[in-house]
Structure 1
Amino acid sequence: MSITFKKELDDLVLQLLKNLMEYELDPNVNLVMIKANGKAFSAGGDLLSILGLITAGHWSLTAKYYYKWLTLLHLNITYKKPLVNIVNGFAIGGGATMSTFATFRIVTENTIFSLPEIAIGLIPNVGAGYILSRLPGYFGEFLGLTGARIDGADMIACGLATHFVPSKDLALLESELEEITGSSNTLNNSKVNETINKYALTPSLKQDSPLKK
């Protein structure tokens, strides 16, 4: 069960690596956008798969999987072209970390972010230590030790996301990004940021926000 699921995860990571490396070198590609094909950017299925591998004693498979994940994250954070992540739903586990490794990290009122590894005896990994250690105060430790869920407003306030765009405006934003991508051979981060800011809002933290507490 776990090994089969692990192969599916491997295939996903390898496909992302392959595509991103090809797009980075392709002169016809000016911008890369990563988003979910559904309600969840990441549903956290990798956590249970990894736990199953570890329990079964497949340490080498686990180590190789993490190596690929870290390679993917390194590529994301050093990407030479504008990279846009859109998280309009759940971002849990390894994919949650990946959602924060991009030049532009867009969230909405539907975004739910969580690193719940602690609940099954693991710890946040594949880059989580990097992002959590850079959050204000002890908020990173809090998220890592509790697996608490935070929303898009929290992510903006603590720096995990760069822009908050209402979900109803995402289609318009994507359309405009595609338009400026096709009209420029030298698209830069400044132009992308300017375009996203047309649709971005400054959200208010909820009264029960973990960050406010």
Structure 2
Amino acid sequence: MASISSGNGQEDQVLVEEKSFVRTLILNRPKQLNALSFDMISPLLELFLLYEKDSNVKLVILKGKGRAFCAGGDVAAVVRDINNGKWKSGAIFFRKEYTLNYLMATYSKPQVSILNGIVMGGGAGCSVHGSFRVATENSVFAMPETALGLFPDIGASYFLSRLPGHFGEYLGLTGARLDGAEMLACGLATHLVPSAKLPSLEAALHMVDSSDQAVISAIIGEYSELPMLKEQSAYHRLAVINRCFSRRTVEDILSALEREATNKVDDWIVASIQSLKKASPTSLKISLRSIREGRLQGVGQCLVREYRMVCHVMQGEVSKDFVEGCRAILVDKDRNPKRFSSFSFAVGAS
């Protein structure tokens, strides 16, 4: 197994396995749940660019070491830079991350992401844009940015807006978690393979001598299953989600959910209301508008717009919620943001 050095004396954060015409890239920060650092994104971008031009590479596999595929971007490091007056360091990080997302979305060769564990934020960005996303019974997907004072980025306004109905608005605003079966049902995953079969699947993929997506899909299909959704799955509530999350503003969405709650006792509705009320109001409004605009834009347009948005957020031009949200959720972990922008939901439109 080869490794790509970060150049700072630390353990290599991206490992590389070479098997005939296949390259497997392994995210290697298991203690940090493989949160994407600058020292991960830079070599990933270099390797994807290299492999696209290399005729000896027919397939790229991406997976994580440990119990996570990737828990997101290392935004705690970005906030440390902001607090030290270096927001432009964060801008460089996001620009390189979004460039990687765009490369994956437009890649000429198949990419198989093995999502055996946590897949959140930036982890979705470096997998959902690729050709094949293999979930397992261990998969946990979420876009938790509104609780952090941010918004679903990494091209999420593109892929969330293309989920069935208004399921993308629901996921993006509430930060709700999905399991592997739900990921498959809504299209975030292309296949579901039991984790016990992953070694056999990888061994089969290592024998590939083709970039034909039909060939790759057929191989993965041999190990795939069609799981049943749990009875309490949010996906069973798509009709309610469409009624509520199709509303024009965040205020209207919240009111619609509260009306649903008065008509029917449902823990899912209560949890959705609570998630919205705990999130940054500013982030909710930004996120809703971003997803709605994403429906009318290509992936490149979404990423360019999201980059401009994240630069404004890092500069604190709209609010300071990003810094406070990261403190509460990621740093001090008291889960009690004290300084979220406190304007009433009754004021302004999303």
Correspondence 1:201 to 2:229: no
What's the CA shift for 1:131?
1.1
What's the CA shift for 1:55?
4.5
Q: In the aligned structure 1, how far is the partner of 2:125 from the partner of 2:141?
A: 9
TM-score under structure 1 length normalisation: 0.89
More deviation in 48-57 or 198-207?
48-57
What's the CA shift for 1:45?
5.4
Change (3 A) 1:50 1:164: same
C-alpha contact (below 8 Å) 2:71/2:122 kept by paired residues: no
Trace 1:47-66 onto structure 2 (pairs within 5 A): 47-66=75-94
Identity %: 46
Q: In the aligned structure 1, how far is the partner of 2:128 from the partner of 2:73?
A: 18
Other-structure match for 1:102: 130
Other-structure match for 1:152: 180
Look up the equivalent residue of 1:19 and give its one-letter code. L
Trace 1:55-94 onto structure 2 (pairs within 5 A): 55-94=83-122
How big is the alpha-carbon RMSD for the aligned residues of Structure 1 and Structure 2?
1.7
Change (3 A) 1:174 1:190: same
What's the CA shift for 1:56?
4.3
Other-structure match for 1:24: 52
Correspondence 1:129 to 2:157: yes
Correspondence 1:37 to 2:65: yes
The count of aligned residue pairs is 203
Higher relative contact order (CA 8 A, sep 6+): 1
Change (3 A) 1:75 1:45: closer
More deviation in 42-51 or 130-139?
42-51
What's the CA shift for 1:53?
3.5
What's the CA shift for 1:201?
1.0
TM-score under structure 2 length normalisation: 0.55
Q: In the aligned structure 1, how far is the partner of 2:139 from the partner of 2:78?
A: 24
C-alpha contact (below 8 Å) 1:46/1:93 kept by paired residues: no
Q: In the aligned structure 1, how far is the partner of 2:44 from the partner of 2:57?
A: 15
C-alpha contact (below 8 Å) 1:47/1:117 kept by paired residues: no
Partner SS, residue 133 of structure 1: helix
Q: Which runs of 5+ in 2 are unaligned?
A: 1-31, 238-350
C-alpha contact (below 8 Å) 1:88/1:107 kept by paired residues: yes
Deviation track 1:89-121 (CA, whole Å, cap 9, x = no partner) reads: 001221122221110110000000011111121
Q: Which runs of 5+ in 1 are unaligned?
A: none
Look up the equivalent residue of 2:153 and give its one-letter code. N
Other-structure match for 2:166: 138
Deviation track 1:16-52 (CA, whole Å, cap 9, x = no partner) reads: 0111111111121111100011111112352333344
Change (3 A) 1:55 1:143: farther
Partner SS, residue 189 of structure 2: coil
